[in-house]
Amino acid sequence: MSETVTGPTETPAAGTTASGATIRLENLTKSYPGNPAPAVDNVTMDIKAGETVILVGPSGCGKSTTLKMINRLIEPTSGRIRINDEDVTDMDPVKLRRKIGYAIQSSGLFPHMTVAENIALVPKMTGWSKSGVKDRVEEMLDLVGLDPREFHGRYPRQLSGGQQQRVGVARALAADPPVLLMDEPFGAVDPITRDHLQDELIRLQHELHKTIVFVTHDFDEAIKLGDRIAVLRERSHIAQFDTPEAILTNPTDDFVSGFVGAGAALKRLNLTRVRDVGIADFPTVTVEDPLQLIFDKLRDGSHNELLMLDRRNRPYKWLRRGDLMRAKGSLARAGQLVHDTVTRDATLHDALEAVLTDSGGRVAVTGRRGEFIGVVDMQTLMNSVHELLEADRLTAMEHQHDLEHLRGHQTEQELEGGGSGL
Amino acid sequence: MNFWEYVSTRHQQLLTDAFQHVSAVFQCMVLATVLGVVIAVLSYRSSWGGSLAITSTAMILTIPSLAAIGLLIPLVGLGVPPTVIILTLYGLLPVVRNAIVGLRGVDPSLVDAAKGIGMSRTARLCKVELPLAWPPILTGIRVSTQMLMGIAAIAAYASGPGLGNEIFRGLASLGSANAINQVLAGTLGIVVLALLFDAAYVLLGRLTIPRGIRV
């Protein structure tokens, strides 16, 4: 019924051409002269191809520094960086960066260039043909949901914050890099636009399968976007690196649970879609049904309530048993209009919201064209949340058990090794 | 002979002088701009380098121009060489200062973005930093040109070209019939040319400052 995402050993979605690349950080350290404590201390991290990894942590924890070491905007003091198993720590940084998309807060668009010129920068530098660049610009604008004809010749200052950010992402992706680094890209836009941009990024990632490393301090954003989340404490020490589900249900320590914040169970609701829980059937009638039939259906007992659908099968009205009587047999006045529905792609959070505001404690689920599919009520939601949390807990425990087992095994081996050395 | 009669009888000479004046200022301004921007590019990243560049070019400006040109004559001779040297050196300060301020004023996040998408040092400078710093640099050039129009008159002291010759000849023969007319013609000529130059810069700004950053 519900799809539980397994532990961090899961491989990325098969069957798709993962255009992403693996990233491996090995003992990455950055210290600044005159400061005894390193800004980033010995970070080791494995990022799989096509995966979205979120670095999240309090401000000043070194998450941005860690990100900027991947494209060597900040040169690591020690440690190695491997992209697709190729050591890039000593590669020419300019060449390296052309293969890594980079999007930042406040979009970083060059104000003296048009939208098209901004997007064309990297393809031009990497020696694409003129017509190739031109086509690519159109394609990228299309991809991020901006009409090429309208936005082609505009200057960044003629765009809204959200549009600028879209162009920023288009520029980052223009040369089709396998890796995309995003440094708090949605930090400076208003909450509604941010929500849109996040949805857009999820859609993009669905199409493109890049390896994305995303920095944010907003844990909710991390949950929404990440395949895996690395919660960082000061000096970029990894407090926990796991799936959002695992972090929500089984934070390793007080620091992580403090960062997750209150209402982990509520946040968990954001990770599951309505399609994953039991959508119950509900007796329906349509507006075209004769009045007598509706009466009979209501009277015959098993249900106190009916859902009336309109001509196109969309939920229209809730009808209770007494409603028709009270309205003196007039269908037009009887019942309660359906004011909120959810789609199957809605999160359980949205569904709960709808259920809570509904007087009958249920919400109609609709398909793509608004047609009725079924109903979700409070009981279903509660049951599935319990199940989800239980499943998460089990996975987490298993995972922990595996880790302990592995550790025990390693110690054993080390002991044996030491023994034979004597 | 009143002023207008003087101008109409001597217009040939006046036009030649005016042309030479403009040409000297223009060429020296080009030199000063190139030199000034190069100095700024080399020095704007370090705080002491920038201060050094600004202070030293400011010091040049404190030397009285008449004295400076006089001191140059024994070194480089008369005529064009001292004129060019003086004008170029005096024109440096506004260009250097505005270029440094302009380059330093480029939003660091843009430089970061330029680096991040893989632009080389030269590309960053030529495609991002200098275009964004261009409006203040152009203002510097404009101020510099106004200043040089006046200073160029001094060049006549070293037998240099330009309208300064009219002024000096007039001053040397004060009391004679046309003395005042000569001084007046030279001075007014310089003022008119300076205004024309300024108009040209406004036009240049319209043509060279990208629409996206025009205020």
pLDDT-based confidence at residue A18 (cuts at 50, 70, 90): very low
> Looking at the complex, does the CB of residue A128 fall below 8 Å from at least one CB of chain B?
no
In chain A, pLDDT over 70 holds for what percent of residues?
91
Question: Which of B116, B131, B213 is nearest residue A104 as measured by Cβ atoms?
Answer: B116
Q: Where are the domains of chain A?
A: 23-264, 276-380
State how far residue A151 is from chain B, nearest Cα, in angstroms: 14
Q: Would you call B113 and A102 a contact, using CB atoms and an 8 Å cutoff? A: yes
E strand intervals along B18-78:
none
CA B207 vs CA A17, A43, B25, B130, B210: distances in Å:
48, 51, 21, 16, 8
pLDDT surpasses 90 at A19: no
B82 Cα to chain A: minimum distance (Å): 40
Query: What does the pLDDT read at residue B128?
Result: 92
Q: What is the pLDDT of residues A118-151, one digit of tens each?
A: 999 988 888 888 888 988 899 888 888 888 888 8
Domains of chain B, each with CATH number or no CATH: 16-213 (1.10.3720.10)
Task: Give the percent of chain A with pLDDT over 90.
Answer: 9
pLDDT of residue B133: 92
A-chain CB neighbours of B132 within 8 Å are 110-112
Beta bridge partners of A43: A28
The answer to whether residue A1 scores a pLDDT higher than 70 is no
pLDDT of residue A3: 40
Tell me what pLDDT residue B191 has: 92
Each of the 215 residues of chain B gets a pLDDT tens digit; together they read 688 888 888 888 888 888 989 999 999 999 999 999 999 999 998 889 889 999 988 888 888 888 888 888 888 888 888 888 989 999 999 999 999 999 999 998 899 899 988 898 999 999 999 999 999 999 999 999 999 998 888 888 887 788 888 888 888 888 787 888 888 888 999 999 999 999 999 999 999 888 888 77
What is the structure's pLDDT at A414? 64
Q: Mean pLDDT throughout A264-279?
A: 79
For B214, name the nearest residue in chain A, comparing CA atoms only: A112
Taking CB atoms and an 8 Å limit, are B132 and A112 in contact across chains? yes
Place of tokens 């203002």: B139
Residue of A nearest to B130 (CA): A112
Give B116's contacts in chain A (Cβ within 8 Å).
Answer: 71, 73, 97, 102, 104, 108, 181
Contact B210, B131 (CB under 8 A): yes
Tokens of A347: 């999160």
Residues of A104-141 as b/e, b for ≥16 C-beta within 10 angstroms?
Answer: bbbbbbbbbbbbbbbbbbbbbbbebeeeebeebbeebb
Contacts of B137 (CB under 8 A, 6+ apart): B33, B37, B95, B98, B99, B102, B130
Interface mutation vs chain A, best among B117, B125, B128, B129, most A CBs within 10 Å: B117
Cα–Cα distance measured from residue A406 to residue A400, given in angstroms and rounded to the nearest whole number: 10
**Cβ separation B117–A95 shorter than 8 A:** no
Q: Which two tokens stand for residue A356?
A: 């809570």
From chain A, pick out residues whose CB is under 8 angstroms from the CB of B122.
none
Q: Which of A39, A42, A51 is nearest to A12 (CA)?
A: A51
Cβ distance of B117 and A113 shorter than 8 Å: no
pLDDT of residue B114: 92
**CB of B131 less than 8 A from some CB of A:** yes
Contact A73 B118 (CB under 8 A): no
pLDDT of residue A17: 38
- Does A295 lie at the interface with B, CB-CB under 8 angstroms? no
Q: In this complex, is the C-beta atom of B177 within 8 Å of any C-beta atom belonging to chain A?
A: no
Judge: domain A276-380, CATH 2.40.50.140: no
Looking at this predicted complex, what is its ipTM?
0.81
* CA–CA dist A291, A265 (Å, integer): 45
Asked if A73 lies within 8 A of B211 by C-beta distance, the reply is no
Q: Say if the Cβ atoms of B213 and A121 lie within 8 Å.
A: no
Greatest mean pLDDT among A171-175, A261-265, A399-403 lies in: A171-175
pLDDT band at A190 (very low <50, low <70, confident <90, very high): confident
User: Rounded CA gap, A221 and A63, in Å?
Assistant: 15
Which strands, in side-by-side order, build the sheet including A40-47?
A40-47, A23-30, A78-83, A86-87
Residue A196 CB: number of other CB atoms within 10 A? 17
Q: Do B212 and A157 touch (CB under 8 A)?
A: yes
Which residues in chain B are closer than 8 Å to A181, comparing Cβ atoms?
116
Q: Is A156 on the interface with B (CB under 8 A)?
A: yes
Give me the pLDDT at residue A118, please.
92
β-bridge mates for residue A336, sequence order:
A318
On whether any CB of chain A is under 8 Å from the CB of B116, the answer is yes
The per-residue b/e assignment along A312-332, b for 16 or more CB within 10 angstroms, e otherwise, is: ebbbbbbbbeebbeeeeeebe
- Cα separation, A195 vs B136, whole angstroms: 39
Q: Encode pLDDT of A66-125 as tens digits.
A: 999 998 998 888 888 998 888 888 888 888 888 898 988 887 899 999 999 999 998 888
- Specify the pairing of strand A305-309 against strand A315-320: antiparallel
The answer to whether B95 faces chain A, any CB pair under 8 Å, is: no
State the CB neighbour count (10 A cutoff) for residue B108: 9
Contacts of A125 in chain B (CB under 8 A): 118-119, 123
Which of helix, strand or coil describes residue A71?
A: coil
Nearest chain A alpha carbon to B213: A112
**What chain B residue is nearest to A101 in terms of C-alpha separation?**
B117
Phi-psi region of A347 (alpha: psi -120 to 50; beta: other; left: phi over 0): beta
Whether B113 and A108 lie within 8 Å, measured CB to CB: yes
Residues 6+ apart with CB under 8 A from A190: A161
Give me the CATH topology for the region A23-264: Rossmann fold (3.40.50)
Q: Mean of the pLDDT values across residues A330-357?
A: 81
Break chain B down into helix, strand, coil percent, rounded to 5. Answer: 85, 0, 15
> Is the CB of B109 inside 8 Å of chain A's CB atoms?
yes
Q: Does B118 touch chain A (CB under 8 A)?
A: yes
Distance from CA of A318 to the nearest CA of B (A): 55
| pLDDT surpassing 70 at residue A417 | no
**Does A57 touch chain B if contact means CB atoms closer than 8 Å?**
no
Cβ neighbour number for residue A192 with a 10 Å cutoff: 9
- pLDDT-derived band at A329 (thresholds 50, 70, 90) equals low
- In this prediction, residue A11 carries a pLDDT of 37
Enumerate the residues of chain A whose CB falls inside 8 A of the CB of residue B120. 94
Helix (H) or strand (E) holding B77: none
User: Using CA atoms, how far apart are residues A323 and A329, in angstroms rounded to an integer?
Assistant: 9
Per-residue confidence at A311, pLDDT binned at 50, 70, 90?
confident
Average pLDDT, rounded, for chain A: 82
Identify the burial level of B19 via C-beta atoms within 10 angstroms of its C-beta, where 0-12 means exposed, 13-18 middle and 19 or more buried: middle
For chains A and B, what is the number of CB pairs under 8 angstroms? Answer: 66
**Residues A362, A367, A369, CA angle at the centre, nearest 5°?**
125
pLDDT-derived band at A6, boundaries 50, 70, 90 = very low
Are residues B114 and A125, on separate chains, in Cβ contact within 8 Å? no
